[in-house]
Amino acid sequence: MKKVVVGMSGGVDSSVAAYLLKEQGYEVIGLFMRNWDTSINNDFLGNPYLNNDICTQEQDYNDAVEVCKKLDIPLHRVDFVKEYWDYVFTYFLDELKKGRTPNPDIMCNKYIKFDSFVKEALKLGADYIATGHYARIEKGKLLRGIDNNKDQTYFLSQLSKKQIENVIFPIGHLEKYEVREIALKLGLNTAKKKDSTGICFIGERNFKQFLANYLPHQPGKIVNIENNEILGEHVGLMYYTIGQRKGIEIGGSTDKIYVVGKNLKDNILYVAYGDNNKYLFSDSALIEDVNWISDSRPTKCTAKFRYRQQDQDVELEYIDDTHVKVKYNNIKAVTPGQACVFYLGEECLGGGIIKDIYINNQKTWYL
């Protein structure tokens, strides 16, 4: 009997994944990852929301315990706090310092769920590992999950071909409602549990209060990019992202105003008025740290520049093994630091990190 170690998060997706594997005849072992230590990473400002985090963190574990009891499978708990800090959270902070908008969930998959986790699973004698991701693997190819609204290949785009060799995604062929229906029929305590949101393993927080523990506020000017008029003051460039509309405080103005750029050197946040302002758009981008899961290297394919975005037609110009120039028709709010993920039909080819964006061959964003 083949042994599968399943990443149990305390959510409905991993719960049903474990059940389906057991039904398929595998020997199933659950493994719960503890990746964030609130007692060490304390809230120095004394904000009370961290107390809720302790409850949430332990509740997830308790939910996983109950599911595994119900399914009659063993559950192990492992501590990856140091690994998470070194490879995910430090990256997150470093990107914010550069004024970029990072996606820590992608690095969490690369370094924790499909690296540190795999090493621990092998100690338990695993033939395969499994997670509750909405994705599929067929003939060594990473394919989109059937549920287009839940497809998570975007977050798996930094995995190597080797990392997906012995991976099973048991729910990738299901819609989310089907997963919940299975959990309800089984009477699992996670059947109606809300999906986790926020930063991977850290969860939902008051973002500004949370980051204040690690990065000091650096207020600066908010400037209208079209006429250099000073409109107000921002609380720190790291709290804003390209295309952002909410949270920009401009003296009671009700006009639609968007973040369109940052000047890190002078600590200026550039904004512009209107949904279709030209400064919100770009027509090409330089992608760095490109990772290929597929053997395909097309010159034309589709791409997502953010999660849940509709596929965009793109042309690829290969600069070297890890850099690609991507050309496209005008797209709104392409953001440095975010992932650009490539697709050829159902297959996720891989992806990289958006470094620079351009309009008419002129670099934008850093102005």
Place of tokens 């061959």: 361
Give the integer Cα–Cα distance in Å for 63 and 61: 5
Instruction: Report residue 195: phi and psi, to 5°.
Output: -65, 145
Catalytic residue among 55, 68, 108, 301: 108
Torsion of the alpha carbons at 55, 60, 64 and 66, rounded to the nearest 10: 40
Give the integer Cα–Cα distance in Å for 90 and 345: 34
Q: Is 50 helix (H, G, I), strand (E, B) or coil?
A: helix
To the query of whether residue 55 is one of the catalytic residues in this protein, the response is no
To the query of whether residue 108 is one of the catalytic residues in this protein, the response is yes
Give the integer Cα–Cα distance in Å for 79 and 91: 19
Which two three-digit tokens encode residue 34?
């503890």
Query: Which one, of 75, 89, 108, lies nearest residue 37 by Cα?
Result: 89
Cβ atoms of residues 260 and 279 within 8 Å: yes
Give the integer Cα–Cα distance in Å for 117 and 110: 10
Cβ atoms of residues 283 and 332 within 8 Å: no
Which two three-digit tokens encode residue 324?
């690609």
Torsion of the alpha carbons at 347, 352, 283 and 247, rounded to the nearest 10: 110
Side chain identity at residue 99, one-letter code: G
Q: Is 286 helix (H, G, I), strand (E, B) or coil?
A: strand
Q: Is 28 helix (H, G, I), strand (E, B) or coil?
A: strand
| Contacts by residues 151-154 (CB-CB < 8 Å, ≥ 24 positions apart) | 153/341, 153/343, 153/348, 154/106, 154/304, 154/307, 154/339, 154/341, 154/348, 154/351
C-beta atoms surrounding 75 within 10 Å: 19
Catalytic residue among 68, 200, 301, 348: 200
Q: Is 26 helix (H, G, I), strand (E, B) or coil?
A: coil
**Catalytic positions, please?**
108, 200
